[in-house]
Amino acid sequence: MKIIFFILLGIIYLFLANAINIIIIQEIFFLIGLALVCIGIVRYIKERYLAAQALAALTEASTEEIMAIPHTQYTLSSNALHALLLNEQTNMLIIAQREELGGELTVTEIPFSKIYEVAIMEDEVFMLKTKNYLMSGSLLEEDNEDEELAEQEDEEEEDTVTKLSLKLVVDHLSDPILEYTFMDTEEDPISKEEDEYKEAMELCEKWYQKISVIIKRHELERVPIRHWQ
Round to whole Å and give the CA distance between 38 and 118.
56
Three-class DSSP category at 119: strand
Global pTM value:
0.72
For residues 116 and 129, is the Cβ–Cβ distance under 8 A? no
Side chain identity at residue 215, one-letter code: I
What is the per-residue pLDDT for 145? 46
Residue 72 scores a pLDDT above 90 = yes
Q: What are the C-alpha distances in Å from 147 to residues 77, 90, 120, 140, 144? A: 27, 36, 12, 11, 5
CB distance 128 to 208 below 8 Å:
yes
Mean pLDDT on 185-195: 85
Structure confidence by residue, pLDDT tens digits, 84-122: 999 999 999 999 999 898 889 999 999 998 998 899 988
Which is more confidently placed, 222 or 179?
179
Percent of the chain with pLDDT over 90: 35
pLDDT score for 220: 62
CA neighbor of 113 nearest in space, from 170, 57, 75: 170
Q: Region 32-42: what's the mean pLDDT?
A: 82
Average pLDDT in the 8-12 region? 76
Q: What is the pLDDT of residue 28?
A: 81
